[in-house]
Structures are given as structure tokens and as C-alpha cells.
With several copies, the nearest count.
Chain A
Amino acid sequence: MMAQAKPRTAAFDPPRKDFPILERRVHGRPLVYLDSAASAQKPLAVLEAMEAFATGEYANVHRGVHFLSGAATQAYEAARERVAAFLNARSAEEIVFTKGGTEAINLVSYSYLSQRIAAGDEIVLTVMEHHSNIVPWHFLRERQGAVLKWVDVAADGSLDAEAVDASIGPRTKLVAVTHMSNVLGTITPLKAIVAAAHAKGVPVLADGCQGAVHEVVDVQDLDVDFYAVTGHKLYGPTGIGALYAKRAHLMAMRPFNGGGEMIQEVTRDLVTYADPPARFEAGTPPIIEAVGLTAALDYLSSFDREAVKAHEADLLAYAREALREFNWLHVIGDAPGKGAILSFECEGMHAHDVATILDLEGVAVRAGHHCAQPLMERFGVASTTRASFALYNTREDVDTLIRGLAKARKILG
């Protein structure tokens, strides 16, 4: 039932010992964590960096003269530099810290697009977007009469840049597209989409919450206008994300949240705002999380990213091959070059039941609509089971998944 060859890919040795949680047992079985697309586990390096900072250098940032406040400010701004380098932004001033990927996209909706869109104006997006890259645009539909133009994906889940281009009309004010689908694993032709949109004068927001984890991102090369990332999927802490935006956009955007740190001057009658990125970071930011994010990006970058990608691709291919034996199981999403996410439907078995049986085998997978209901509708399913692979997964993990699926079939099929 399982594919034969089991040797680990020579190039990459999954650093399992860096992730203490992977040693735990679940229902008496060793944990097989295949839910990294929902959230990745955290390496010790991240936890240790946060703890060292909290026990040695912590204070609030920016407005303090004292030593710890200086140290904390430096650490926080170093995190901004780190994210800028990770995405190859022109400068750290193009990085705004947010509480997550969702807030990064909402920031664009509230502070950029809502001032630039009128009733009847259009937002182009794809049917495979995550709700976080759908609902903020639905707000503009509900509140300002914007029109959502949906670009379909092909049967294999791939997205055609020309299909996006064809949907961009004279009233299009933004193209909002994922860099990598969290359900199908599809990597989108982002650079071609940006080129097509720019040719018509339309800016592009890329949802990079998955893309930045698996692809090496160069926002300058992509020439994308906005790129959203989230810390917890990048092996970093919860509570932090970031928006990359071109400096010119940031300069022209109005504030989002109001409060400390984002102002220049406040009087009873007037308020003036700080320059970006501070303008968009009201209140005490996620300081300890920023330190964790720096450590996470350092950690991820300490590997040969291409080797990680090859490793994940190997796991995907290995799983894909094994699943061919199950003629009752249908994989959804087979785009060429897709990332290491595997969604499938099992005939006569509901995703929840499959996931529960896998859970009892120690295998953590997601079951449901994955915050992508329009995509579920597109493929005519209510939900799927999803296994997603990270740098710490192994072929043995895949074997356990396959055994669990066979068992589910025996019990429920």
C-alpha cells in the first residue's frame, strides 16, 4: 500500500530535535503533525529568544530614554529590518507590523482601498482566496458598493495570469490574490499577474501568509504593491504579522487604528500623524513577538531554502504516490509546482470522521472548509481533509498518515 523507497532525501535532514512538541504523544501515539498550514510549530530558537528578551531586555519601546527601553526599541526595529530583508523590501520603512496576516490585509482595505473605491468600482480576486482575503473586500461591497470580480481556477487548481488579466477592467481598483493557496497548495503566477495589472494601472495585493513560508519572496522582483505575511505560520509566534507596502502607498494612506505612537501631535482640536510605518502602528506593538519573529526568520533562513522546498516537495510526491492506491480518495489541487499541501475527499467518508480517526493514530490534519468556502463551492464539496507538510516532517509521517487513512476506510467505508 505504501510507496517503496523510504530513505530520507539526502539533501535535507528534518531538524526534529529543534521542535520539542514533536516528541510528545497524542492518544498514546507519537504525534504526527500535518497541520502546519494552519499554524507551524515553533523551534526552540524562537522560544529561547523570546524568553531571553523578556527576562533580560524587556521594556516598552520608542518613547523611553532609559537603557531597557533603548534595547527594546533596537530589538523591535531590528525585527523590522529582518522582515524587510526576508522579503527583500527596499527599506524597513516599507514594513508595518500587524497582529497577523488578516490584519495586514484589513489595513490595506481600511487605510488604502476604502478611500479609493466608489460604488461600482471593482476588486478582482480568485475563488481560492482565504476568507482573510475575501471578507475585507466584502466589507467594501457592503459598505461602499464595490463589486467583487471572481477569477476561477482551472480543474487542477492552477491559476492563469491571463484569466486574472481578463478580469481587470477600467473600474478595477485592486487585484487581491494569494501567493499560495492554503487548500490546494497552488503557487500563483504572481509576477505575471502584477505585470498585467500594472499595465492597466491597477495595484496588486498578494496574500503571502502561505507563500512566504514555502517560497523565497522578493517583493521588488515581483513588483507587488502589498504583501501580507503572518508570523505563526513562519515558525514564529502568534500575535504578529506584517504588511509590506511600497513606500509611496504607505505615504498616501490614512491611519487605521488611532492611539499612542502613531501621532505626531495631539491637541484638543487637531491631530497630526506620524510618518509610516509608525502611522499604522497605534499602541504598544507586539514587542516580544517581534523578537520571536526575528528568531524565526533567522531560523528559517539558516537552512538552504531550496533544499527545504525540495524536501517538502518530496514529501508531497511521496504521499501523492501512496494515495494513488486509494481509488476512493480524490485529491483536490494538482497544479504544477504546487506547494506541500494536500487536500482530499474520501468517498462516503466525511472529513471530520476521517480526521478523528487519524487523530486517534496521532496524526493531526485539518478537516473543514479551511476558511475558503468559495473554493469549496467551486469544487462542489462541503469540506476536505488537509495534510500539510513543513520542514520538520518526514516520510515516516506520511506513512503513518497513509496507514491511518486505510484504517478510516476500514471503519467508515
Chain B
Amino acid sequence: MTIDDSLRELYQEVILDHSRHPRHFGPLEHATHNGEGYNPLCGDRVKVHLAVDGEGRIADIKFEGRGCAISQASASLMTDMLAGRTLAEAEKLMDGFLHLVKGEDAGSLSEDDHERLNVMAGVSAFPMRVKCATLAWHTMKSALEGGTAAKTE
């Protein structure tokens, strides 16, 4: 793969689109879970909010914060994909993603999820950027586990 290929893969149109027009961006009233993440390497922050309904399903999900294209796109993609899932499904998806961006086997993902998340796979070629891609996801995990603060380091 040439440099320009890697670059194109890292900054695919869909990633740039997510980062320029993030989905589910903003605060969330009546959130049942909130989390705040911080990347001390660059000072980027992300907040995640979600409302889990009586059946353990993610009824609503939002994120706020600013960061690099990778972290913004990753957060936006995450909210898109988690909305409507059960907590168990969300857990599985998140673990799969965390493997995927490190270039590891993400076998637990369904074929469809794998395909949608695969736009982020180019990050695995940039070890110093993996933390950007995972910040929102780690934050979400710790919000669901009851913590409020996460950081990638």
C-alpha cells in the first residue's frame, strides 16, 4: 500500500463526513448514563450521554466535545451504531471495535457491523492515533460501567 493509499484509507470520505457533520452531537436531557473522557496526549475531551430504557435498550445517545477528525468521526460512528441496541449488544460491539482499530481479530462482530466499522480500520496502521479512535468508546464503556471519567493514554 502506498503512502497516499494509507492516507486515503485513514481519511476516507465517510470519516471526514462524520467528523464534519457529527451525528448525535449535543447534550441529552434525561440521560441515565453520562461519561467524560480525556486524552492527556492532546488535551481532547469527549462527553457521552445516553438514556437506557426499561428493557435495557439504548433509547437515546449523544456526544459532545472536540478533537481530531479521527476521534470525532469515531464518536459519531459509535453513537450511530449503538443507538437502539441492548446493553449486551453494545458491549459486544464495543469490544469488537477496540480489537479492530488495533488491527486485532474482531471476530465477535457481526458481518454487517464489521463492514460499517471497517472505515476506522485504517487507524491500526497509525499506532500513535489509535488512542484518538478509542477515546469515545472507552468513555462509553466506563459510563455504562458506572464510572464517569475515562482517559486514553
Contact = CB atoms under 8 A, between A and B. Distances in A.
Report if A and B touch in the complex (beta carbons < 8 A): yes
B147 interface: no
Interface string A39-82: 00000000000000000000000111110011001100000000
Size bin of chain A's contact surface = 35 or more
A412 B69 contact: yes
Contacts of A275: 153
A349 to B, nearest CB: 8
A352 B153 contact: no
B40 interface: yes
Contacts of B41: 62-63, 368
B10 to A, nearest CB: 7
A70 B43 contact: no
B11 interface: yes
- Looking at A27, A70, A352, which has the most chain B CB atoms within 10 Å of its CB? A352
B122 to A, nearest CB: 11
Interface in A250-280: 263-265, 274-275, 278
A196 B69 CA distance: 47
A413 to B, nearest CB: 10
Contact of B129 (A73, A356, A382): A356
A382 B43 contact: yes
Given A353-B11, A412-B11, A369 B42 contact: yes
B84 interface: no
Interface string B35-57: 00010111110000000000000
A383 B44 CA distance: 8
Contact of B69 (A353, A368, A382, A383): A353
Interface string B111-122: 000000000000
Contact of A360 (B7, B16, B132): B7
Contacts of A265: 38, 40, 43
Given A62-B41, A350-B67, A74 B127 contact: yes
Size bin of chain B's contact surface = 20 to 34
A114 interface: no
B41 to A, nearest CB: 6
B3 A264 contact: no
B3 A70 contact: no
Contacts of B6: 27, 360
Interface in A261-309: 263-265, 274-275, 278
A382 B151 CA distance: 16
Interface in B70-91: 70
Contact of B40 (A28, A64, A264, A361): A264
A382 B10 CA distance: 22
Given A264-B38, A382-B66, A356 B43 contact: no
A352 B68 contact: yes
B67 A357 contact: no
A341 interface: no
A353 B68 contact: yes
Contacts of B70: 352-353
Contacts of B151: 264
A149 B26 CA distance: 36
Interface string B1-24: 011001100110000100000000
Contacts of B40: 263-265, 274
A131 to B, nearest CB: 11
A21 interface: no
Given A62-B41, A73-B128, A368-B41, 12 more contacts: A28-B3, A63-B41, A70-B127, A264-B151, A275-B153, A278-B153, A349-B69, A352-B129, A356-B10, A356-B128, A357-B7, A360-B7
30 contacts: A62-B41, A63-B41, A64-B128, A65-B128, A66-B128, A69-B128, A70-B127, A73-B128, A74-B127, A263-B40, A264-B38, A265-B43, A274-B40, A352-B42, A352-B129, A352-B132, A353-B11, A353-B69, A360-B3, A367-B42, A368-B41, A373-B43, A376-B43, A382-B42, A382-B43, A382-B67, A383-B42, A411-B11, A412-B11, A412-B16
Interface of A: 27-29, 62-66, 69-70, 73-74, 263-265, 274-275, 278, 349-353, 356-357, 360-361, 367-369, 373, 376, 382-383, 411-412
